[in-house]
Each structure stands twice: as C-alpha cells, then as structure tokens.
Amino acid sequence: MFAQFDKQIDEIISKMTLKEKIGQLNQEKAPSGKEEYENLLEMAKRGEVGSVLWASSAYAGAGNEPGINVELMDELQKCAVENSRCKIPVIFGRDVIHGHKTVYPIPLAMACSFNNDLVEKCYRATAKEAANDGIQWSFAPMIDLSRDPRWGRIIEGPGEDPFVGASFAKSAVKGFMGEKLSDKDSVVACAKHYIGYGASEGGRDYHRTEISDYTLYNFYLPAFRAAVNAGVGTVMSSFNDISGQPISSSVHHIREILKEKVGFEGFVVSDWDAVIQLVKQGVARDEKDCAELSLKAGIDLDMKDRAYLTYLEELVKEGIVSEELINDSVKRILRVKFAKNLFENPYRNQVSYDRKEHFALAREIAEETAVLLKNDNVLPLSKTQKIGVIGPFLKEKRDLIGSWTLDGKAEETPSLYEALLNRPEKENIVFADSLEELSGVDTVLLALGEVHTNTGEANAVAKLTLTDDQIELVNRVKSLKKKTIAVIFSGRPLAITRQIPCLDGILYAWHSGNETAPAICNLLFGDKVPSGKLAMTFPRTVGHIPMYYNVTPSGRPVDGYYGENPENCYNDIPASPLYPFGFGLSYTEFSYEDIKCDNKELSLDELKNGKKFNISVKVNNKGDYSAKETVQLYIRDLICLNMRPLRELKAYQKKEIQKGCDETFEFSVGYEELGYYYSDGSFHVEPGEFEIYVGDNCLTENKIVINVKA
C-alpha cells in the first residue's frame, strides 16, 4: 500500500542533499515559548524538521500539556512547504489515545466491550476531531500485551490476549484511517510500543523484559501484525530491552522481524529520548553511538532528541553509516506523507462533526465496557426502592476520563452524583456523607475506585487493593446489613478479593470517558443490560501476578488457573483467578447448547487451500431481559512440537438476543486459527486433534474435538 509512491519519492530523494535527508528523519517537540518557536520556524526553512510532536514533555499523558495551536502549526507548515528548498511538508503528531476532545473509555475498557465495530466507530469519531485540530498523525493505538496490572500503562492497551489485541489494533487503525488515509478526516495511526514494553519486570515502567522469539511471535507480535495488515502507517519502537538488547538498537526486532518478516512498509519512530537513552542503557558510549545504533536498527524518525540531526551527517562522512540506509528511512517517511496526501494538502483541514453524536457514542461504548462482576439479586435497581449513595468517587469527574487524555475535559464529564440527579429516580436517592444518613435506605451504592494519576506512564503501583479508607468504608457499610452494591471506577483490575463477600453487587465501571457516569446509571437502573467481559484476568492478590488465561500446561497439575489442583499451587490462597478472562455477568441468563461442527475432520492440505471447520452453537436467552452476549471460541492444540496454551481465544461474536429467544453463533476455524509460530517465525499447523471450546468465558467446558489429518 505504501510502496505505490516510490517512483515519485525516489525522484525527490535523488535531488535532496544529505542534510535535507537527515532533516526528514528529525522530529521536534512542540515549542514552549517564543524563542523555541522562532527557532523551529528557521529549522523548518532549512529543511530540518520532518515532523513535530505536539507535546512538550516526556510524560505527556500524565501532565498538563499545552493545547493545540492550529495557527502556529499552519505557519510552521508554510515555512516547510513554501520556504524550504525541497518543499516537503512536516507531519504533525499528538497522543490521541482514547478520544480527542470527546473521551471514550480507556483502551483496556474498550477491549472489554468485545465490540469491534463500536471501537472502530469511536476511533473514526476521534480521527475527525483530531484532524479538525490539525493533527495528521496519532500515536495510537497502543497495543502492548501485558499480564501485569501493576503497570500504569495497562490502561492504554487491550489487555492480556493476542487475539483481542489484534482485533483492537485492526479496529483502531481502520477507525483512524477511515476509507482512505488521504481523506481530510483521516489520521495516520501508530502501532506502539514495538515491542514487549508491556512485559517490563514487576510492572515497573521502562524495565527490562525477557521474551523468547517463540513467545514474541505468538503473543506480543500478533497485534502489530494485525495493525500492519490493516494498513498502519507508522510504528513506535519501545523503551525496553529484550534479553539485554534495547529495542532502540535491535536490528533483529526492527529490521528483521518488523520490516522484513512482517513486511511493514511505513516508518518507525523512536519513543521520547529513546535513541539517546542507549547511553543510559549501557550499549552506547555517547549520543553519536546512539544515532548509529538506532538508524542501523531501523528507527527511521528520531523523536525529539536530535541525535540524528546532530550526528548522522558525520557518521555518513566517516563511512560508518551508509547513505542507502538514510535513503531508505527518508523513503519510508515520505511514503506516509504521500499516502496522507500532505504534498497536496499540507495544512489543517476543517472537518465537520457533530459533538452530540460523539457523546452518544461515548455513552454507548461506556455501557458496553462496564463488567458486572457480582449480582446477588440486587441489580438492576428497582425504580421505587430507596437508595443511599456514598463514597469518594461520587463527585469525582477527572478520574472518570482516565489518564492519557490530553484534550479531554473534566468539565465535560458528569460525576456519578450529577448523573444520578438527572435520573427520574432521583427522589428516591439519598446522597450521604456519613453512615448515619443511610439508616432509612434499602440499598447502599458505593462509589469506589482509583485515581487516574495511579495509571498511565511512569505510574506503576505495587499494591492492587483499594485504598485503606475505601476498605474501611466497605467494612462499615457491611455492618449496616443492607443490600450493598459497589461501582468501581478504575484503570486496572484491582484485587478486591476481601471486599467481594461484603458486597451483593459489583459493577466494574473502569475509567470510561466523558459518559462513564450516565452510562453506569443506565446500567444500574436496567435501562441497559451489562454486556462487558474481562479482557484481563483479575488476580486475587499481587502475588498472583502474572496470572493470565492462555497458560501452557505444566508437567504436574499445579497451575491452578483452571482449578486443576487448588491446594497445590500456593499454600495461602487459591490458585484460580479472582475473575477469569472473558468473564462478565448479565441481568439475563444465557444457556448454551452443545457445539456443532459439520465436518470434524479435514486434511492439512484442505486447510491450506482455505477449507474451514464450520462450528456453531445455539444460545438461548432464558431470562427477563433482551441483552447482548459475547460468545467466545477457544482452541487447544493437544499435541505439538512446542507446548501450546490450555486455551487460546480465536474468535468471538457479540449479538443481541431477545428475551425468550435464541440465536445461533457461527464460526469458521481454519489454517490461520489452528496454526502457531515456531521460534524462527515460520507458521505451522500441526496435524492431530484440537479441542474447540465455545462459551461465555475462558473456563467454559463446553467443547468438541476436531481432527486435522496429515
């Protein structure tokens, strides 16, 4: 897709000086103050600015960022396209992670919707708002697989599963890019952080990782492969090292795997200062070394640290870096600029959109991301019962939109308090500051959660419990012996193990964007039915980490995720998860019939030629509510050369089933679903038996066996 412009690009490159080429490989940060700005204009005229990142600090997602200044951007662009010799446009980027002005749920929550179309619509709407503000390139989606809820950036990605990650990547990339990347309302997407960042030891941001190629290909890479196949224009390399090799200097990971094996034709941008950090990481002597290592590794655009701008010319003249490598990087960057049509249309475009529609979308997805974890006949709330609401998150606004929201506003985010005041049931609600005020109510609603500043970049936590004051509140409310429901606004799975017995209902609301609270009210009062499913396992305690569903079998049954041998793993706590992957309750009850497969045997050749196993299951809605159900299909490859996980999600479908009715869910499982990667990156389906599980979470025992003949 990107190589189609290569002829024109080669022509341009042939006329560029080395300095001008290197200028294209340089990304500047947003200027702070007049002096920096004027300097930037001069640099653009000299052809030294390939791109500008509209953020001014390393922790853009957590700090206060300057707003976008479209006039400055246009003036700067004018210097590049009118006053520089080559007239190559600058590309403007910004972190637009889960919404621009209108904020949608954090990506981990969006993944819990298991609704790919809705996710795509949110990113489409996001692209329009961003494009209208002059942003041509978003540093999203973040698709780092992670098994560690301590990591602050867990909020930014789609959780622990490669298939969910790949689906999310595809939806987000398609949403950002729209019909055509050249359209005015499309934005270049960036798959980040390549690769393994989410595996940092202990959940400590930027720490080292150990990932074998086998694990890389089967777990960490699929989302990036999906992003590339969906046409992503850029990839951001990650800060971490893998087994001692920082990604910023890894020829193996960037050139060999991403560019050659996966076939990525766009460009790779480094993360903030990641090139010069090779000195701190101890693999480069000085910044000149860094520039050499990163360019050779395949990083095309240098984010903010000017190592390329300062040293590449010298390195070429000394014969250390070849000009061909530089040409290749320039070509990749220009491919994206051409695909985005920046040569014809370099300035900010006015894009019209209806903000009301975007808020409606934000509400719809927030309703689908909330996960009902427990319900002992307390939800939905009846319209007439007396409800007392208490808790530190009752009047909170900012935390509800989550971290990494540079342009979202707390003022546009109703608190739970405000949303409840908007309800017809408001006469029956007591907003309490103390327990005494709850004496006359039938049901207590607790507004609990975590602050957004505990999530995002450089914000890991070592504890996964609620804060002490919240734990105490739960215990004190329990002593009132009333029906108690907790709504939990959080960016990560929290180990609420000890609170569960005190609560009759738990609705996990996440940090779900501007419309979190109205959406939660709709769910609480039964206007909408919960349908979110966990995209990440809930551990019972920090000591459970890593706890993820797609574990491989062990020689002795001590694993425990699937309840094999509950006492034999840990002596002090059950080994099974608090809540498994894929889990989420509804107000209705679904029953699954046995799985059907029309052809239980296919040969390997037939599979290679595109034949598939056609699998179906009928799901009956036996309850009193029409509701959506996400049916999940997992496989287990029983015997193969390398150990394979006990379950691997390979498909899911979400559909509305009317009450009293049933729906048939049909899946096809073929070569792609049944295969896996060897350590050398080759893909294989090994003949033999496979178990196929279809159910409502990863623990389902509803299965059949299919056979692939040699």
* List 30, 55, 342, 617, residue binding ligand NOJ (CB under 6 A): 55
- Strands 51-53 and 91-94 come out as parallel
Does the protein bind ligand NOJ through residue 95 (CB under 6 A)? yes
Of 60 and 362, nearer to ligand NOJ (C-beta) is 60
Of 277 and 550, nearer to ligand NOJ (C-beta) is 277
Buried b (16+ CB within 10 A) or exposed e, 573-592: bebbbbbbbbbbbbbbebeb
Site for ligand NOJ in 302-321 (CB under 6 A): none
Does the protein bind ligand NOJ through residue 139 (CB under 6 A)? yes
String marking each residue 390-429 x if it binds ligand NOJ according to CB under 6 A? ----------------------------------------
The minimum distance between CB 40 and ligand NOJ, in angstroms, equals 17
The minimum distance between CB 457 and ligand NOJ, in angstroms, equals 6
The minimum distance between CB 466 and ligand NOJ, in angstroms, equals 28
Does the protein bind ligand NOJ through residue 272 (CB under 6 A)? yes
Report how far residue 294's alpha carbon sits from residue 304's, in angstroms, rounded to the nearest whole number.
14
- Strands 137-138 and 26-29 come out as unpaired
The minimum distance between CB 485 and ligand NOJ, in angstroms, equals 36
Report how far residue 493's alpha carbon sits from residue 260's, in angstroms, rounded to the nearest whole number.
37
Does the protein bind ligand NOJ through residue 205 (CB under 6 A)? no
String marking each residue 506-545 x if it binds ligand NOJ according to CB under 6 A? ----------------------------------------
Of 53-61, 280-288, 548-556, 689-697, which segment contacts ligand NOJ by CB under 6 A? 53-61
For residue 480, give every residue at least 6 positions away whose Cβ sits within 8 Å of its Cβ, in sequence order, or none.
435, 438, 439, 444
Query: Strands, E, within 464-585: which ranges?
Result: 483-489, 505-508
Of 103 and 517, nearer to ligand NOJ (C-beta) is 103
Distance of CA 306 to the CA centre of its chain: 29
- Asked if 299 and 267 touch (Cβ cutoff 8 Å), the reply is no
Site for ligand NOJ in 429-458 (CB under 6 A): 457
* List 21, 100, 128, 192, residue binding ligand NOJ (CB under 6 A): 192
The minimum distance between CB 238 and ligand NOJ, in angstroms, equals 8
Q: Concatenate the DSSP letters of all residues of 30-76 into one string.
A: PP-SHHHHHHHHHHHHTT--SEEES--STTTTTS------HHHHHHH
For residue 519, give the H/E element and its range.
helix 516-524
Report how far residue 520's alpha carbon sits from residue 513's, in angstroms, rounded to the nearest whole number.
11
Of 221 and 303, nearer to ligand NOJ (C-beta) is 303
Does the protein bind ligand NOJ through residue 271 (CB under 6 A)? yes
Enumerate long-range contacts of 420-423, CB under 8 Å, 24 or more apart.
420/389, 420/517, 420/521, 422/518, 422/521, 423/521, 423/525
Of 304 and 363, nearer to ligand NOJ (C-beta) is 304
- Strands 601-603 and 688-695 come out as unpaired
Apex CA 608: angle with CA 605 and CA 613, to 5°? Answer: 90
Of 15-23, 55-63, 374-382, 604-612, which segment contacts ligand NOJ by CB under 6 A? 55-63
String marking each residue 457-486 x if it binds ligand NOJ according to CB under 6 A? x-----------------------------
The minimum distance between CB 253 and ligand NOJ, in angstroms, equals 17
For residue 78, give the H/E element and its range.
helix 70-78
- Asked if 357 and 126 touch (Cβ cutoff 8 Å), the reply is no
Of 52-60, 246-254, 446-454, 464-472, which segment contacts ligand NOJ by CB under 6 A? 52-60
Residues that bind ligand NOJ (CB under 6 A): 53, 55, 58, 60, 95, 139, 192, 271-272, 457
